[in-house]
Chain A
Amino acid sequence: MALTGLQTEYVGTKGRLFRLALGSSILTVLTLGIYRFWMKTRLRRFYWSAIRPGGQPLEYVGEPLEKLLGFLIAVVFLAFYIGIVNLVLMFLSFSLFQGNYAAYLLSFVGVIPIVFYARYRARRYILARTRWRGLRFGLEPGAWGYAARAFLHWGLTILTLGLLWPRMTFFLEKYRTDRTYYGSERFFQGGTWQMLYRPFRPLLIGIVIIGGGVVTGYAGAILPALLTGAAGVLLAFYGLAHYRVHSFRLLTNAKTLGEIGFVARPSPWRVIRIYCFGHLIVGLLMSVFVTALLVAFGGMAAVVIGANGQFDPIEWSAMLPFWLNTLVAVLVYFTIFVSWGVLRHVFVTLPLARHYAETLEITGGHHVNNIVQRDRDDFTEAEGLAEALDLGAAI
């Protein structure tokens, strides 16, 4: 088996990704958001090509203009829904309930099936534009079926207070996987939904402990309640990462592609470490940028006003012309916006992709050679709906 096991290499570097993400983010800001379709395409090309199962890179062949087209198509339909439906809901909510919460709730619930539908379609588009060793991936149509199932599974999960969460994870993954192709070969999701209860335990125990803390709090013991609650939250936080990582691992290992199998070995601790340290670095660097900008502004203010008194930015900004204040506010806003996005790519998304890639092995690799090409899935709408609804904002 070792002879035909294909290890996955990861070749992406932080420096190249930083330059790519920074340049395209700035262009996105300058073009009022239009360049985001190009940015997404270029980032995906980078991320895909960095992952190399058996030494051969994945390739992303999606085009920016087809994303723009899909987005425009989605806008035509969604604008009606969002404009008219929100207006009517707001009216009804204020007429009947004297508040806007009912409107927000209804408009949220109404959009849920569309969200699942959009997710499935986005996945179909992305798989149709992904190649490895020259062959296309693909996903069969079935977005409404997916939306209906997801809606029901979520309902069941909420009704059972989360106890059927693993069942939902498994069946939604099975629905997607069993419709996924690599070239002429179809994926199959094996295993059972009960197998996901083992990784679910830490999260479950954490939630039970939080519940215990709440009960203790109501009984009047404040300090023990706080301590129990804090312990519960920490455990639940770990439990969530544990569940995410291990359910991914179990599901991946139970997938087959004809004679080909998969072995994934990601580590929840590693994932948590990347999340926490990554975001810490992002936060530190962002505060450095914003401070630098404000100090520069302070310097400019001192020159403009000729102030030599105490450092009081609020007093100064009141004395400055309107356009200068606006300029600074816009600069700070976009510095925060751009640096958050760019640094997250560099310090969170890339290390996570690296970890998941490097811990993935393909077994029975020699069978890959028997697979042949599949037809192109034209798919005019691309991922327009998901884009318009702001889903999967990362990549």
Chain B
Amino acid sequence: MIGTARNDSYAPPPGHRVFADFCDGRTAVVHRVDVEIIDGHPAAALCLTLVDETRLRWPLSAIRSIPDQAGRGQLVITSEDTPLARLTLSDTETIAVLRARCAHLGRRPPVRGRLRLLGWSLAALSSVALIVFVLVPVMADQLAEFLPPEGEKALGDTTFEQIRTALSGSKINPVMVCDNDGGAAALARMQSRLEGEADLPYPLTVHVLDHKIANAFALPGGRVVLFRGLIDAAEHPDEVAAVLAHEIGHVVNRDPARGALRSAGSIGVLGLIFGDFAGGAAVLFMVERLIEATYSQKAEAEADSFAHRSLAGAGMSPQALAALFERLRAEYGDSDGFVAHFMAHPSLGNRIDAAREAESLRTGPIRPSLGEQDWQELRGICRRRPA
């Protein structure tokens, strides 16, 4: 646009001399120079005349402006051929003419070293990918084996408090732990029936958190957390028992300790890339992921098969797991909370089938995980005791 709006008719009024400040980029001397636009051959140029009558020609097409300057009513320019030189103009008329006639005034110097930039971009991406997806998981898996039980419990306790705070959004008033007497007793009965196969270096602790999401997760050090929303969504106590058995399976395989160590390594690396601007968001995102606890498909399959065995061994139907998955999918659609978490694994159909097949593991008669009264107590575990 600027290039087409030429103003060839401009000529300075006779006797009107325009001065500007000129630095040649070799010494710190500021030269007061006389400037003049001359339409000559081979091309129109800006002529600078120094005090000692030295004349410099800057072809208009070679003139570049210096961007983002704070000074008002001024234009700082340089020439492509002498990039260290600077000319500071204050004369409004000359500035207007230069803006109209210098076709490449806003052109930036060519980018050098594109290949090097590309190379380092790839190097940075692959080093981060290598660390987050290979090195950190491998090391976390190895180290989790060596984590002493007390250390693992401490890790779980810290994470548990972080999650309670993150879910309520306030440190003062974290999400309530439901523990009214009847409900807790019913939960303990369910837990003891499933614990048979678990061989743990620490006692298993099961909590119910007063939150509407239909989900459950396991934490390091033998903590399993169920949300009230899950108990509300279940139609039969065995469905809750099935989820509990699945999470106990994660605890037995020490998946949560691995996950926690992994995220300790990954959070910092991700924060590094996004800088302070999204650092806070990245940390939040990672806490979310901790709750979602997306373990590897293998870990999920192993937790499932643990659940099948312990359900069957305790005289419950492994099909309860399949029933809950199917109903939640029907109820919430494919893109919400609990189901989305499981949908992320392409093998949900397989998992439902596997739960059906595991039915053959059961030898004795079916005994529901809880009696009707205990089931009602468990459903009311978040009810506060009357004062």
Which of A28, A49, A83 sits near B68, CB closer than 8 Å?
A49
Which of A69, A134, A333 sits near B117, CB closer than 8 Å?
A69
The answer to whether A133 and B139 touch across the interface, beta carbons within 8 angstroms, is no
Q: Contacting chain A: which of B46-54, B266-274, B290-298, B302-310?
A: B266-274
Point out the residues of chain A lying under 8 angstroms from B71, CB to CB.
11, 49-50, 52, 57
The answer to whether A87 and B140 touch across the interface, beta carbons within 8 angstroms, is yes
Point out the residues of chain B lying under 8 angstroms from A65, CB to CB.
111, 117
The answer to whether B68 and A79 touch across the interface, beta carbons within 8 angstroms, is no
The answer to whether A20 and B68 touch across the interface, beta carbons within 8 angstroms, is yes
The answer to whether B154 and A72 touch across the interface, beta carbons within 8 angstroms, is no
The answer to whether B135 and A183 touch across the interface, beta carbons within 8 angstroms, is no
The answer to whether A86 and B28 touch across the interface, beta carbons within 8 angstroms, is no
A244 adjacent to chain B (CB < 8 Å): no
Point out the residues of chain A lying under 8 angstroms from B139, CB to CB.
84, 87-88
Shortest B38–chain A CB gap in Å is 24
Those of B67-102 within 8 Å (CB) of chain A: 67-72, 76, 84-86, 88
A289 adjacent to chain B (CB < 8 Å): no
Proximity string of chain A (105-143) to chain B, C-beta cutoff 8 Å, 1 when within and 0 when not: 000000000000000000000000000111100000000
> Which single residue of chain B is at the shortest CB-CB distance from A41?
B68
Proximity string of chain A (345-379) to chain B, C-beta cutoff 8 Å, 1 when within and 0 when not: 00000000000000000000000111111000000
The answer to whether B26 and A72 touch across the interface, beta carbons within 8 angstroms, is no
B387 adjacent to chain A (CB < 8 Å): no
The answer to whether B128 and A75 touch across the interface, beta carbons within 8 angstroms, is yes
The answer to whether A82 and B269 touch across the interface, beta carbons within 8 angstroms, is yes
Task: Decide yes or no: A46 and B84 within 8 Å by CB, A83-B131, A84-B265 being known contacts.
Answer: no
Interface of B is mostly: helix
Question: How many pairs of residues, A versus B, come closer than 8 Å at their CB atoms?
Answer: 181
A373 vs B84: C-alpha distance when bound (angstroms): 10
The answer to whether B158 and A69 touch across the interface, beta carbons within 8 angstroms, is no
Interface size on A, residues (CB 8 A): 64
A388 vs B261: C-alpha distance when bound (angstroms): 23
Of the A-B pairs whose beta carbons lie under 8 Å apart in the complex, a sample of 25, sorted by A's number, is: A11-B70, A28-B277, A32-B274, A45-B67, A46-B70, A49-B69, A56-B88, A57-B76, A69-B116, A73-B124, A75-B273, A79-B124, A80-B131, A83-B136, A84-B135, A91-B143, A98-B154, A133-B29, A134-B23, A134-B26, A134-B84, A135-B23, A135-B25, A333-B280, A372-B28
Closest 8 CB pairs of A and B: A134-B23, A87-B265, A50-B70, A45-B68, A98-B154, A94-B151, A90-B264, A82-B268
Binding site for A on B (CB under 8 A): 21, 23-30, 66-72, 76, 84-86, 88, 111, 113, 116-117, 120-121, 123-124, 127-128, 131-132, 135-136, 139-140, 143, 146-148, 150-155, 158, 261-262, 264-269, 272-281, 336
